[in-house]
Structure 1
Amino acid sequence: MITVETLTEYIRKAMPDAAVTMVDRTGTLDHLKVTVVSEAFRDKNLLDRHRLIYQALDVPMKDGRIHALELTARTKEES
């Protein structure tokens, strides 16, 4: 189980300007819909944007706190 605060901390270590929103898809806090808005995504394709997020969340993915992610990754202009 992971909280939005903890999730945001992990993402902000990689992308300090990130605005993060999280929706618990199943009520178990391990199947998440996550939206990240950051300038780190500028000029990056969708796959590279998702890679940045997965790299930032490597620890909670590997230890089982996150089981499934649905990602949206945008810059401020795309929001």
Structure 2
Amino acid sequence: MDTQTITDLIQQGLPDAVVRVQGDDGVHFEALVVSAAFAGKLPLARHRMVYATLGALMGREIHALALDTKTPDEHARASGAGAG
């Protein structure tokens, strides 16, 4: 498994998402997923939305996926945009 495939699958399932996936060993990955679809959802629901885009790959080809899920506003605040 590679980071580009995971990125592509998440973006297919969440078309508005900005996705950044990292992982060097082919089975353990970290992903930042920024999507307006996460608005009003708790972290567990957000993670389930991402896992749903990956289907059967989770637990098989992808052994671990650490997720950071944010709305665009949350991501902007976390990035320091607009701080002053």
The verdict on a shared fold, with TM-score over 0.5 as the criterion, is yes
Greater Rg by CA? 2
| 1:26-37 correspondence runs (5 A) | 27-37=24-34
CA distance in 2, matches of 1:50, 1:69: 10
Instruction: State the 1:45 CA deviation.
Output: 0.7
Q: Is 1:66 the counterpart of 2:65 in the alignment?
A: no
The Cα shift of 1:4 comes to 2.4
Contact 2:35–2:71, Cα closer than 8 Å, also in 1: yes
Kindly provide the amino acid, as one letter, of the partner of residue 72 in structure 2.
K
How far, CA to CA, are the matches of 2:16 and 2:2 in structure 1? 19
How far residue 74 of structure 1 moved from its aligned partner, in angstroms, is: 0.4
Q: Distance in 2 between matches of 1:8 and 1:22?
A: 6
Query: How many residues were matched structurally?
Result: 75
Deviations 1:3-37 (A, max 9, x none): 2221122112221011111121xx31210111100
Q: Give the fraction of aligned pairs with identical amino acids, expressed as a percent.
A: 37
In structure 1, what is the equivalent of residue 71 of structure 2?
75
Q: Which has the higher contact order (CA 8 A, sep 6+)?
A: 1
Which runs of 5 or more residues in structure 1 are unaligned? none
Structure 2 unaligned spans of 5+: 76-84
Partner amino acid for 1:9?
D
Query: Could you tell me which amino acid in structure 2 is paired with residue 66 of structure 1?
Result: I
Structure 1 residue 65: deviation in Å?
Answer: 1.8
The 3-state SS of whatever aligns with 1:44 is coil
